[in-house]
Amino acid sequence: MNESHLRRMKDLPSTHLLGAGTPMCAGCGGLQALHEIYDLLGAKTVFVNAAGCMTLLSVYPFTPFRGSWLYTAMASAPAGAQGVRDALDILIQKRRIGREEDLETVVLTGDGAAYGMGLSATSAAIERNLDFLYICYDNEGYGNTGQQYSGATPHAAKTSTSTGPSGYAGDKKDLFAIWAAHRPAYVATVIGAEPLDLARKIEAAKQLRGPRLIIALAPCPVGWGYSPEETVNVGKLAVKTGIWPLKEYIDGHVIHTKVPRSRLPVEDYLKVQNRFAHLFTPQRDEAMLVSLQTKVDDYWKNIA
């Protein structure tokens, strides 16, 4: 970041677009979702950001947000959100600020924090019924440090730390179910490629109080191995093949908000990403492809 770049950032108006002039990867699915989410949340927010890809949005003392921003270590964002929320509540109680000056407390993390390092702090925050909105951009690996596998990495995907012939041997953790087991106010899955579904869920979350989670699948051109202009297509394939169910948890019930009635084959999604190329070349791994398809089929069998 040179001095001329810093001067240009300083001169940008406070309403410039989120991500403009920042060193984010082209075609970032996480940034796509965050653009859409921030358009709905607006400036009366304080983002508590755990170390990760989106940390690159902020170059001290500047951020592209019109609201506030707090940076934390990877495991500490829910604890940071607790401090921010408590401080705001005390200021309101003591009439140091009016209720019209209150801010929405928003945690922003990648899957490394949400599924792994920060999970214990998140669980404790939910148990305390912390009033916060948690946004996880899920690019299925530690994207900011070279796409090592995380608790969100899908079975058979190759990462920089699962390079064997069969890819990642584990399975993607079900963060939706983990949150739902805590009986929070709201949990939803979204993707930037389905903006109307995303917008409805953000509006629903805004009307509630207590712990609320939005998990945004974040297609990653660099980590997943596809051309940046294909991000929307990859996102739509994730939904159309049933790999990424769009759903929400509210009042103890799970509702699927977009059911792919005529699902495309799972391999339509896999074959456009280099992280799954070993399933197709130098020869098809038919057993693995059938296994992955069966898992998706089994999920949707009981969904009306």
CATH code (residue 280): 3.40.50.970
Report the alpha-carbon distance of residue 136 to residue 172 in Å, rounded: 15
pTM reported for the whole predicted model: 0.91
Q: Report pLDDT for 58.
A: 86
Task: Supply the pLDDT for residue 243.
Answer: 98
- Which residue carries 């358009």 as its tokens? 39
Residue 40 contacts residue 202 (beta carbons within 8 Å): yes
Residue 107, sorted as left (phi over 0), alpha (psi -120 to 50) or beta, turns out to be beta
Interatomic CA distance for residues 116 and 232, integer angstroms:
27
Q: Which residues sit opposite 68 in a β-bridge?
A: 46
Domain count, the chain: 1
The pLDDT tens digits for 18-77 are: 444 456 899 999 999 999 999 999 999 999 999 999 998 888 888 888 899 999 999 999
pLDDT digits (tens, 9 = 90+) for 178-235: 999 999 999 999 999 999 999 999 999 999 999 999 999 999 999 999 999 999 999 9
User: Domain range holding 226?
Assistant: 3-301
Burial of 218 (0-12, 13-18, 19+ CB in 10 A): buried
**Hey, what are 43's tokens?**
């400036």
Cα–chain-centroid distance for residue 210?
Answer: 19
